[in-house]
Structures are given as structure tokens and as C-alpha cells.
Amino acid sequence: MKFGTKAIHSGVEPDSSTGAIMTPIYQTSTYVQRSPGDHQGYEYSRTHNPTRTALQNNLAALENGKHGICFSSGLGAIDAVIKLFNPGDEIISTSDLYGGTYRLFTKVYEKYGIKFHFVPMTNVDLVAEKINENTKMIWAETPTNPMMNIVDLRALSKLAKGNNLLLGVDNTFASPFLQNPLDLGADIVMHSVTKYLGGHSDVVMGALVVNEDELAQRLIFIQNACGAVPGPQDCFLVLRGIKTLHIRMERHSQNGKTIAAYLKNHPKVEKVYWPGFEDHPNHDIAKSQMRDFGGMISFSLKGNKLEDARKVMESFKLFSLAESLGGVESLCGHPATMTHASIPKEEREKVGLVDSLIRLSVGIEDAEDLKNDLAFALSRI
């Protein structure tokens, strides 16, 4: 099946008891057994739930994987991955990544003896330099949050496999529609399902997709043993959202292209970060591993004044100032004080995350209205 067909049909079947075309919300905590251990595949909803099963199977199909595993948030999913490792193990991560991931790595797991190295992964040689006998995994984002850097997943996969390392990829910004890391050699794909997969800013969830059976069983054990699972209502909402993922991503990408071009030519904009530009570093790699370039854009203002960034964001009418991304509505955010505030200022500025940087999640509204909204907000400085 092609992607749009998989999004609508994979993992879901009409309800066998009623013929309902939509997956039922199995709002139950437990399941009746005929005899101890003699059940219909379900015992307790932390372990398994039919609505969650349908979603997990659907997500696995979208990423061309075998096993989907859902969690109560994206960070819950990453937390499960780090629980695969032991004190003394080392993980190499990109230096430009989501602030919540950085906080989880440095404020939670470093005190338990897991060491993290943060390097610019656009240069794979810098990753190779950090590999030693304690290294167990490479953790990548591409495009990165919020600088929109592109990481060569094929090159990272070759490096990981040559050193017997796992390769994990946060694929949230791209979504399965634009990029499939498992096909490029990754071992684990992570999504903040909250974002493009849900698509309507009404649910918080995370997911992992893997191919290898033993790795899947280890992660499923952690999912059940630690209990960070989503409820059936949230799973239902994501299944609904996914049915229009391909259509939404096409529009996000179209609008993203229009808005990126507009900002690049604006006299008050210093720099625009969007991988669709031919002069974007690693544009050719983005072109080779992504189907399109998406609707995530970051830009900085001339003069780099925090007060200018505040004024612009306070002046928007359509771009709502809010955490998160990937919904049908356009959002703006200020990474330095919002999503990436947990990263020290000196570390942020090393990767170009300056105080005037604004991150846009371009929605699926009419592009001309979004351009007009930007024009008005930028005219206020």
C-alpha cells in the first residue's frame, strides 16, 4: 500500500462485534478471563489495550517497521530508550536537540552514571571521534530542533553498525510522511506523537518503532514495567489524526516553502533556517532522505534583540504563541525562553540559537493570510 492508504487502513479493522468502521475506545482497565491465564490476549490495560494495539500497528506500518510501542509522552518514549543502558555506558547525541531531551539526559540520567557527548552531527567525523569501548548508542534528530540542521542518517547508520552501536532517531519534525529512518539504517525511531501524528493539538503521546524483535521485547518490557502508557481515548484521537496525515503534511510543506521564501527576502530578518533552501547546509542530504521539507522554520532578526523578538510574537494574530508544534494551526515559539530554556545560554549560542530566534510551526491555513500576519508582526519593530 502507498502511504495515504496505509495511514487510513493499516492496523485497523471494522469492529468485529458491531461492524463499526472506527476503532472503538476500549475504556476499560481489566479483562475477564475464562480461567486463570486463559484470556483473549488482554489482561490489564497497562500491558495491552485494543485501541492502543491498533495505533501501535498503524504507526509501525507508517515507519515501515515491525513493532510500534506507545508511551504517555515523547519524553516517556525517550526515557524508555535510555533505560536500555547501564551506569558507565556512553551515548553520543547531537548538540542541537530538543531542550527536553537535553534536560532528560543531563539532569536525570547523568546522575545515574550514563555519560552523554553532544556533538554537531552534520559532521559525522566528529561523531566518530567520540566513540569508545563504552559507547552504546548514537541519538540523532533530523531536522534538528530548532536550528533545522540535517543529519546524514545513512552515514550515521554505517558508523553505528561498524561499531556495534544502536542508532536512535527523533523523527518528530519530519513525520513518517516525509522521512523513514528505519529505511535509512536506524534501529529505533521516536516520535512525539503529540505533534504531526496527532495533528490537532489535543493529545500528548510518544512512540517508538523498531524492526528487531529482541530490541522490541526489551522496550515492550520497559513500557509495561514502568507504566508510562497512553490511555485509549488518546490512542483513538491519534488514530483519527493519522488518517489525514499525508494530506496535512503536503499542505504544511507547501506553506512552509511559501513562508520560508517570504522571510528570506524580508529586510528585518537576519537568517532563515529551512532545509528546502539550496544554500542550506546538507540540503542535498535532506533532498535524498526526505520526501519534502516540511513546515518547521526558524528565523533570527537583524540586531538580535530579545525585545524585538518579543514584540513580533506579541503582534501575531494567526501565529499563536505556544509550546508544541505540528497542529493544523500555525504556532510560533521562542526557543531561548521556552522549549530550550533548560539548555545553558552559552551552549545554545554555540549552535546559533540566539535570543532573537523565533521558531514557526507553519499550519495549513491559507498561505497569503500567514504572510500578511508575518508582515504585520514584523512591521512592529
Length of the chain in terms of residues written: 381
- What region does 48 belong to: left with phi over 0, alpha with psi -120 to 50, or beta? beta
CA distances from 74 to 78, 79, 90, 279, 342 (A): 6, 9, 21, 32, 17
CA distance 167 to 161: 8
What gap in Å lies between CA 207 and CA 189, rounded to an integer? 8
Do 173 and 145 touch, CB atoms closer than 8 A?
A: yes
Cell 513546515 maps to which residue?
A: 295
pLDDT at 342 exceeding the cut of 90:
no
CA dihedral 70→72→73→79, nearest 10 degrees, is: -80
Per residue in 253-297, pLDDT tens? 999 999 999 999 999 999 999 999 999 999 999 999 999 999 999
Predicted confidence band of residue 339 (pLDDT cuts 50, 70, 90): confident
Confidence of residue 86 (pLDDT cuts 50, 70, 90): very high
The full set of domains in the chain, from first to last, is: 3-240 (3.40.640.10), 245-379 (3.90.1150.10)
| pLDDT at residue number 346 | 86
Beta bridge partners, 138, equal: 92, 167
**Cell output for 242:** 493519522
Other C-beta atoms closer than 10 Å to the C-beta of 34 total 8
Q: What's the angle, vertex CA 212, arms to CA 211 and CA 217, rounded to 5? A: 110
Each residue of 35-69: pLDDT tens digit? 999 999 999 999 999 999 999 999 999 999 999 99
In which band, very low, low, confident or very high, does the pLDDT at 341 lie, cut at 50, 70 and 90? confident
Cis peptide before 24 (omega within 30 of 0): no
Per-residue pLDDT reduced to its tens digit, 207-240 = 999 999 999 999 999 999 999 999 999 999 999 9
Residues labelled catalytic: 46, 98, 170, 195
- State yes or no: pLDDT of 5 exceeds 90: yes
Q: What is the pLDDT of residues 16-33, one digit of tens each?
A: 889 999 999 999 999 999
